[in-house]
Amino acid sequence: MKVGDWQKTYWEDENGNRTTIQDVLDELRSEPVITLEVRKLSGLGTVSIDLGRKENADLSYPIIVIEKDGQLESILDGHHRLQKALDEDRPYILAKVKRENKQSFTSEE
């Protein structure tokens, strides 16, 4: 994925059903933006971090975290923002929480 192509982000479930980033943003539109402790998110899985994307990451946009059964499980979107927050020793990051029960997501990032 190229910088600026975030609108092309999508995930597929085990059945090949595709969910786009716009679908997720629409679903979370009425969810509040909250702050989460950065250090508690650092172990929620990682993707390969492109240094240019990390440096250009805008921390004013919330990351999207998946919660299952009341537990934060993974980062759906915002890996580069989270890494930037970690590198800058920020205590908190803005986030929206996607509560998941059925469909599991695999990042295509």
Q: How far apart are CA 20 and CA 47, in angstroms?
A: 18
Size of the chain, expressed as the number of residues it contains: 109
Q: How far apart are CA 94 and CA 90, in angstroms?
A: 11
At 13-49, the pLDDT tens digits run 889 888 888 899 999 999 999 999 999 898 886 688 8
Which of residues 5 and 67 earns the better pLDDT score?
67
What rounded mean pLDDT belongs to the chain?
A: 85
Q: What is the pTM of this model?
A: 0.79
Residue 60 in this model has a pLDDT that exceeds 90:
yes
